[in-house]
Amino acid sequence: MKLKRLNFLVGLLSLLVLFLAGRIEAGTLPRVLVLATGGTIAGAANGNSDTGYSAGQLGIEEIIKSAPGIDSLPVSVKAEQVVNISSQDMNFEVWRKLAMRISQAVENEEADGFVITHGTDTMEETAFFLSQVLDIDNPVVFVGSMRPATQISADGPQNLLDAIKTASCIDSFGRGVMICFNGRILDARHAVKASCLEVTAFDSTIGGSIGFTDGHGVHYITPGGLHKHKTYKLDFTKITELPKTDVIYICADMDGGMIRDCVKRGAKGVVIAGVGDGNMPEDCLKACKEVSAQGVQVVRSSRVFQGYTHRDHEFKDADYGTYAAYDLNPAKARILLQLLLACKVSDPQKIQAAFNGDRHGVLYYIEK
Q: 40, 120, 122, 309: which one is catalytic?
A: 40
CB 143 within 8 A of CB 179: yes
Residues 6+ apart with CB under 8 A from 218: 165, 166, 169, 171, 172, 185, 211, 212
327-356 as b/e: b if 16+ CB within 10 A: bbbbbbbbbbbbbbbbbebeeeeebbbbbe
- DSSP strand pairing (44-45 vs 53-54): antiparallel
Smallest CA-to-CA distance from 221 within 178, 245, 186, 273 is with: 186
Apex 104 CA angle, 102 and 110, nearest 5: 85
| Euclidean distance between CA atoms 103 and 70, whole angstroms | 25
* C-alpha distances in Å from residue 223, one per residue of 30, 113, 289: 22, 19, 42
DSSP string, 200-255: --EEESSS--SEEEETTEEEESS-SS------EE--TTT---PPPEEEEE--TT--
40 belongs to the catalytic site: yes
Smallest CA-to-CA distance from 122 within 40, 232, 204, 34 is with: 40
- Torsion angle (degrees, nearest 10) of CA 266, 189, 204, 220: -160
| Euclidean distance between CA atoms 338 and 341, whole angstroms | 5
Residues 6+ apart with CB under 8 A from 130: 95, 98, 99, 102, 116, 140, 177, 188
Q: Which residues are catalytic?
A: 40
